[in-house]
Amino acid sequence: MEKREVVVEEKKGLANTKNLILVGIMMAVGIVLRLCAGMIAVGNMHPNFLIATYCLSILIVKPNLKEAAIIGFISGAISQIGTSMPWLGLGSETLGAIAMCLLIKIKMPKVVKPVVCTFLATCVSGFAFIGLAALTYAKPMPSAQFAAMSTVTLVTAALNMVIVTILSIPVNKIMGNSEKAAVEEA
């Protein structure tokens, strides 16, 4: 009698229940930390934990472009809580998540990937927010306001970069990605 072998193909992106749960948990963590962000400040500026959590989620889960856009849009919807400029987050967070998804596909050493990708994705989100604000709320935007918002974006990008870089190590281990990621990078 011939032995039957069942091959189970692991689903990728958000089709994998484990990945979907991770993204949900990360969004919940992002919401809680966003509400407590006032306690963690550098010169009256603080990390944007929603961006940090979706960057970390995308780095770990590696969703496709459509899934990344959905993650960003949901983050943008969540960012409506307590914002002074409604609706801008929907566009800026979606663009930031798409940028993160595209950036993680670029071949680079595993050690620098969270640093580079998170910093640039946060900048895409932040400058998209500034651009949308200039188009909708501040026509024309004074240069002092642009400079202040740009500074906040760059500091936020640096803070998010540190958070994601540090957290990517234990989250990768929890998700069982450490060996797989090392093989993929080789």
Say what the pLDDT of residue 9 is. Answer: 65
CA proximity to 60, closest of 126, 96, 13, 107: 13
Q: State the sign of the Cα–Cα–Cα–Cα dihedral 41, 45, 51, 56.
A: negative
Say what the pLDDT of residue 37 is. Answer: 67
Bigger pLDDT: 30 vs 184: 30
* Global pTM value: 0.86
Distance CA 94, CA 73 (A): 5
Say what the pLDDT of residue 131 is. Answer: 94
Distance CA 41, CA 44 (A): 5
Domain at 13-185: CATH architecture:
Orthogonal Bundle (1.10)
Say what the pLDDT of residue 38 is. Answer: 63
Q: Rank 1-15, 40-54, 112-126, 167-181 by mean pLDDT and report only the highest.
A: 112-126
What tens digit of pLDDT does each residue of 51-91 get?
999 999 999 999 999 999 999 999 999 988 878 888 999 99
Phi, psi angles (nearest 5°) of residue 7: -105, 120
CA proximity to 110, closest of 148, 75, 59: 59
User: 104 and 67 in contact (C-beta within 8 Å)?
Assistant: no
Distance CA 3, CA 69 (A): 44
